[in-house]
Amino acid sequence: MNLKEAKVGQTVTVVKLNGEGAIKRRIMDMGITKGTEVYVRKVAPLGDPIEITVRGYELSIRKADAEKIEVK
């Protein structure tokens, strides 16, 4: 399952980051790394962006980036 498929109010754990180069680096720079717990706070009405809480701060990410984050 990827982060885009997670439901609002669900807490998931990052298993793997897919993607290469700058995209993967940007996701990691936001604090989303393997083993990190992510809480899905809100999803915009059209599904983009997704608001999450990671490492104690709120973050909005695009659906395209959320698809690259594998969670359980």
pTM, two decimal places: 0.86
- Tell me the pLDDT of the chain (72 aa) as tens digits: 998 999 999 999 999 998 888 989 999 998 999 999 999 999 998 878 999 999 999 999 999 999 999 999
Question: What single DSSP character describes residue 2?
Answer: B
Residue 52 pLDDT: 94
Structure tokens at 65: 């980036």
Rounded to whole angstroms, the Cα distance separating 52 from 11 reads 10
The range of the structural domain enclosing residue 52 comes to 3-71
Residue 69 pLDDT: 92
Structural domains of the chain, count: 1
At 20, which CATH number? 2.30.30.90
Rounded to whole angstroms, the Cα distance separating 50 from 30 reads 14
Backbone angles phi, psi at 24, to 5 degrees: -65, -40
Residue 47 pLDDT: 78
